[in-house]
Structure 1
Amino acid sequence: MPVPPTPEQIAAARAALVILDPRLTEAQACVPVFEWRSRTGGFEGLFRMIVEQQVSVQSAAAIWKRVIDGLSGEVTPERVLATEIAALRAMGLSVQKATYGHEIARAHVEGRIDFDHLERLSDEEAVAKLVAIKGVGRWTADTFLMFCEGRTDVFPGGDIALQEAMRWADGSPERPKEKAANLRAEAWSPHRSVAAHLLWAWYGAVKRGEIVLENPPA
Structure 2
Amino acid sequence: MGLSAERLNGDLDALAAIEPAFGAALARVGYPAPRIRARGYATLLRTIVGQQVSVKAADAVWRKLEVLGDPTDPAVIAALSDEGLRACGFSRQKTGYARSLAEEVTSGRLNLDHLPEDDEEAIAQLVRVKGIGRWSAEVYLLFAEGRADIWPAGDLAVQIEVGRILSLPERPSERLTRELAEAWRPYRGAAAIFTWHHYGAGADAAPI
Same topology, TM > 0.5: yes
Provide the aligned length of Structure 1 versus Structure 2: 208
Question: Could you tell me which residue of structure 2 aligns to residue 110 of structure 1?
Answer: 107
Q: C-alpha distance in 2, partners of 1:195/1:82?
A: 41
Q: C-alpha distance in 2, partners of 1:193/1:91?
A: 34
The structural deviation recorded for 1:48 is: 0.6
Instruction: Give the aligned residue type for 1:103.
Output: S
Query: Could you say if the C-alpha distance between residues 121 and 81 of structure 1 is closer, same or farther in structure 2, counting changes exceeding 3 Å?
Result: farther
Q: Is the 8 A contact 1:172 1:217 kept in 2?
A: no
CA RMSD of aligned residues (A): 1.8
Q: C-alpha distance in 1, partners of 2:183/2:128?
A: 27
Deviates more, 1:124-133 or 1:107-116: 107-116
Q: Is the 8 A contact 2:65 2:71 kept in 1?
A: no
Alignment TM-score, normalising by the size of structure 2:
0.91
Instruction: Give the aligned residue type for 1:64.
Output: W
Counterpart of 1:185 (choices 181, 187, 198) is 181
Instruction: Give the aligned residue type for 1:212.
Output: D
SS of equivalent residue, structure 1 residue 171? coil
Pair 1:145-2:132 in alignment: no
Q: Is the 8 A contact 2:2 2:37 kept in 1?
A: no
1:191-211 Cα shifts (integer Å, max 9, x gaps): 1111111111111111xxxx4
Question: Could you tell me which residue of structure 2 aligns to residue 123 of structure 1?
Answer: 119
Pair 1:134-2:130 in alignment: yes
Pair 1:44-2:42 in alignment: yes
Q: C-alpha distance in 2, partners of 1:187/1:61?
A: 39
**Structural mapping, 1:8-27, within 5 Å:** 8-27=6-25
1:160-184 Cα shifts (integer Å, max 9, x gaps): 1111101112222332232332232
Q: C-alpha distance in 1, partners of 2:20/2:147?
A: 24
The structural deviation recorded for 1:15 is: 1.0
Q: C-alpha distance in 2, partners of 1:75/1:183?
A: 38
Q: C-alpha distance in 2, partners of 1:50/1:186?
A: 30
Deviates more, 1:142-151 or 1:181-190: 181-190
Structure 1 residue ranges without an equivalent (≥5): none
Pair 1:60-2:58 in alignment: yes
The structural deviation recorded for 1:38 is: 1.1
Query: Could you say if the C-alpha distance between residues 68 and 185 of structure 1 is closer, same or farther in structure 2, counting changes exceeding 3 Å?
Result: farther
Deviates more, 1:5-14 or 1:48-57: 5-14
Counterpart of 2:28 (choices 12, 27, 30) is 30
State, as a whole percentage, how many aligned pairs show the same letter: 38
Q: Is the 8 A contact 1:152 1:190 kept in 2?
A: yes
Structure 2 residue ranges without an equivalent (≥5): none
SS of equivalent residue, structure 1 residue 197? helix
The structural deviation recorded for 1:53 is: 1.5
Q: C-alpha distance in 1, partners of 2:28/2:111?
A: 40
The structural deviation recorded for 1:74 is: 4.1
